[in-house]
Amino acid sequence: MIPQLPSFRAAMLAMLLFITLPTFAFLPGDKNTPEKVSKVGVYQGYTEAAYNGFSYSSLYLPMRDSVQIATDIFLPKGLKDGEKIPTILYITRYGRSLKAKWPMSWLKNPILVVVDEKEVQYFTSHGYAVLIVDARGTGASSSRRTMEFSPEEVADGGEIVDWIISQPWSNGKVGTSGISYGATTAEQLLFNQHPAVKSCIPRSGIFDLYNHLMFPGGVRQAQFIDIWGYTTRSLDQNNLSVFGKKAKRLIKGIQPVEGDKGGKIQKHNIEVHKGNFDVYDGIYGVVCREDKHPEMLRSSDVYSNHCNADRIGSCGAGIYRMGGWYDGGLAKSLIEGFWNTGNTEKVLIGPWDHGPADNASPFSPTTDLEFDIYAEMLRYFDYHLKGIENEVLNDDKLYYYVVGAETWKSTNVWPPAYVEDQPLYLSTNNTLVSQANEMQTGTNIYPINFEANTDSHSRWNSVTALYKHGPTTYGNRKEASAALLHYDFAPFTADVEMTGSPIAHLFVSANNKNADVFVYIEDVHPDGTVYMVTEGMLRGAHRKVSEDTDKYKQIGPYHSYTREDMEYLAPGEVTEFALDLLPIAYQFKKGHQLRISIAGTDNLHFDLPKEDVSTELQLHCSPQYPSRIVLPLAKGSL
């Protein structure tokens, strides 16, 4: 129970929150601005808040194999005996709640971070129970962790739902949500096909673990994996000093379960957690989709959501996917999740980074989200869990933000019907032309700059805790872009919208057997400033385009990333790199220019191949080798 605080205690609590929250903003949890009004213009027919405050309790839920799952339970304060309400379930591996050191623990207990207390307060006030649980092998839960997203962890979700619907306050209906890892576990709860689970709202979820997160375009995102692994190892050992001196001074650690006197059970569990596997250890043995992590003895495809799309799509629960254009590679998860699961009823894509936490549009005067995400979630949950006919499914399926135009649009298909493919051809005089016969033919040589990168405020930095260095914004890339091999289109004579996934077809030769190609679309303003629009990359050994696309519908040219299709480059031989860039909705302004820039590395975010790395790329432009970028432009734009 959260008591009414006297003024002194309230003042002390405010001080605690002021001191601690900036520290824990680094945790991979929620950050929303629920006060803002939705700009989508959707029907706002959700229920009014009927409760004020919540009661808190915690317990261990025993699983079929005797593993004990630490569970926090939040119920609306004032819930009447016999009253039945739906439940929203969150499954996290980052610690369900924290305990402050005394005397701060007297003021605030527990401290919620991964699921923001504002979120818990919001949904309990609207008549929902909220459960937040530590996945097995993490937090206060028991067991040693042998992998992420394990089959055992998925099965736990079904047993937790069994317990929920057996409670006297449950109406027998469960929804699930979360951010990042929690979004992915929310969708994996659907693997169980439990009839009580009616709806799922994954935010910044990971649909394809290999291509959308760990190896975009087959290029290892090792810096992220290293920092994420370091963060989770620290959390698993109840070491919050990783988040700074304030955390070490003020926070005792993971919140023990009530009844665990002296935290003896939790201490034992954390000792066991010291033997958890290390995701980073052995990651260099993984190159292809089917490669097994040496500790997990499984490939990522075994437990990736995209390989379980049939189970997800036939589970009977509705899905509302939410995320942002600047969310690492996870904008692809929104689109490909929509394409591959027939029960994805809604998709929301804002100008946001991971979480979403910040508005990353270079045209926005604020980093605030300016969108009431909680209210949008509520009307979806109200429809599925309370049976309220609020017209949520009468809207178009996809709502998306057009960066630059700074407005929302909607569609039922992706890409939208008003878009058509427009090729622009690369010409050796560093220009882009709309007709192949306008190309200046020949070869451009690019000595690879191994210091090239997309800075530490890029979309890739937003995807986990300690990797983020402030708001996601690339800033002016004038100098960085000028140092790359780049090609400019003529200034636009009118505003031009690009919505969808650009596809690059580049004919390249390299001077060694390994090479990566990074492709950027940039917006060159009349004053010479340059801003990132979108980007894509491809490892040369994974360049083969496969015809076997039946299992999984991907954006752009289909790369299997398997050993069967893997082929190293022949030095000096021209070969095609066909790759998709991350989806985006972006409006280029009249007088601006579209630029294509090409690099051989992004050294802040992606690893080079192990050996035999090329030091030079040659890009070929001719009728035989028509290097081009195919842009999804509004019809009649050019």
Active site residues: 180, 327, 354
In terms of Cα–Cα distance, which of 486, 268, 489, 459 is closest to 351?
459
SS3 category, 409: strand
Contact 594, 432 (CB under 8 A): yes
Query: d(Cα 354, Cα 459) in Å, to the nearest integer?
Result: 8
In terms of Cα–Cα distance, which of 585, 546, 624, 630 is closest to 211?
546
In terms of Cα–Cα distance, which of 178, 202, 195, 176 is closest to 87?
176
Query: d(Cα 613, Cα 596) in Å, to the nearest integer?
Result: 23
Query: Which residues are CB-neighbours of 185 under 8 A, at least 6 positions away?
Result: 91, 92, 93, 135, 149, 153, 157, 178
Q: Which residues pair with 594 in a beta bridge?
A: 523
Per-residue burial over 326-339, b = 16 or more CB atoms within 10 Å of its CB, e = otherwise: bbbbbbbbbbbbbb
Cα 363 to Cα 348, 391, 592: the distances in Å are: 20, 32, 14
Cis peptide before 356 (omega within 30 of 0): yes
Query: d(Cα 496, Cα 87) in Å, to the nearest integer?
Result: 45
The 8-class DSSP code of residue 330 comes to T
Element (H, E) at 446: strand 442-447
**Torsions phi, psi for 114 (to 5 deg):** -60, -45
| Strand residues in 469-543 grouped as ranges (E) | 485-488, 496-500, 503-510, 516-524, 530-539
Query: Which residues are CB-neighbours of 177 under 8 A, at least 6 positions away?
Result: 88, 90, 183, 186, 200, 201, 202, 203, 377
Rounded to 5 degrees, what angle do the CA atoms 498, 463, 582 make? 20
